[in-house]
Amino acid sequence: MKPVLIFTTGALIPDVTIKGRPDDVGILDRMDVPRAFKRSTVLMTTAQVEQVYDVARRSTTWCS
């Protein structure tokens, strides 16, 4: 499963220029997220889910 960069603003990727899409990173806007999960065949292990949860709950992970 490759890393994914998700833009979760109120609009579709505003004021962002993507000059080149790296082959090993997915880039989604908030409208793409449900569709991407529905068509994904990859399942994360319990350990992977716990690792994501650990990073996601840290305040230092997010900027405002």
pLDDT tens by residue, 4-62: 766 665 555 556 677 777 788 777 777 788 888 888 888 889 999 899 899 989 888 87
CB contact at 8 A, 56 and 13: no
Report which residue type is found at 18: I
What the block records as the tokens of 16 is 């962002």
For residue 45, count CB atoms less than 10 angstroms from its CB and return exposed for 0-12, middle for 13-18, buried for 19 or more: exposed
**What DSSP state is assigned to residue 3?**
-
Helix (H) or strand (E) holding 5: strand 4-7
Predicted local distance difference test score (pLDDT) of residue 27: 75
